[in-house]
Amino acid sequence: MSAIDGLIIELDQEAKTTRRLLDRVPEERLTWKPHEKSLSLGQLALHVASIPGNVGNMVMAEGFDVKTRKMDYAMPSSKVQILDALEASVSNAKKILSGLTQEAAMAPWKLTAGDREVFTIPRIGVVRNIMLNHSYHHRGQLTVYLRLLNVPLPVTYGRSADESPFG
């Protein structure tokens, strides 16, 4: 099994966990924010759902300039839109990752901020650091939002205060 195959397996496993969490998002609270500087619940949920596919698309380029990224986060109109976005996003990411050769996976990928280089790492590192780890970070934020709304949290990596995978 290649490193890419391992990442695809992890992406599949984590998508199931993400789906359980997104299933808990109360549709009537999509506009709720825990703080004025925060994204709304709906914006954060849609961002979490979209990360794998968006990062998959980024990986196919030679790099990414953060200065060209708009910091606008779309507001979903429904929970179905969020769940559909997750399915499409994961499907897109798996298709892209499945097509990476070992040579392409190890090719350098550069993150810049205008003329300044932030870092250069192999594409496979972008998958690990941005597609997966970045996703976990925002998924953790989403659990806090849901807890503040008194929504029971699903199991992620073991027990939550509300559920146990051990019976």
Report the b/e string of 113-146 with b at 16+ CB within 10 A: eeeeeeeeeebbbbbeebbbebbbebbebbbebb
Kindly report the three-state secondary structure assignment for every residue of 62-104.
Answer: CEEEHHHCCCCCCCCCCHHHHHHHHHHHHHHHHHHHHCCCHHH
| Share of residues in the chain with pLDDT > 70 (%) | 100
Q: Write down the pLDDT at residue 157.
A: 87
End-to-end Cα distance, the chain: 33
User: What is the average pLDDT score of the chain?
Assistant: 94
Q: Compute the average pLDDT of residues 99-120.
A: 95
Question: pLDDT at residue 106 above 80?
Answer: yes
Question: pLDDT at residue 150 above 90?
Answer: yes
Do the Cβ atoms of 162 and 27 come closer than 8 Å?
A: no
- The predicted-structure confidence for 20-40, as pLDDT tens digits, reads as follows 999 999 999 999 999 999 999
pTM for this one? 0.94
Q: Write down the pLDDT at residue 125.
A: 93
Residue type, 32: W
Q: Compute the average pLDDT of residues 5-32.
A: 96
The lowest-confidence range among 11-20, 21-30, 68-77, 84-93 is 68-77
Q: Pick 2 or 8 by higher pLDDT.
A: 8
Question: pLDDT at residue 167 above 80?
Answer: no
Domain boundaries, the chain: 3-147
Do the Cβ atoms of 92 and 140 come closer than 8 Å?
A: no
Q: What is the DSSP letter of 27?
A: G
Report residue 165's pLDDT band, with 50, 70 and 90 as the boundaries. confident
Q: What is the CATH number of domain 3-147?
A: 1.20.120.450
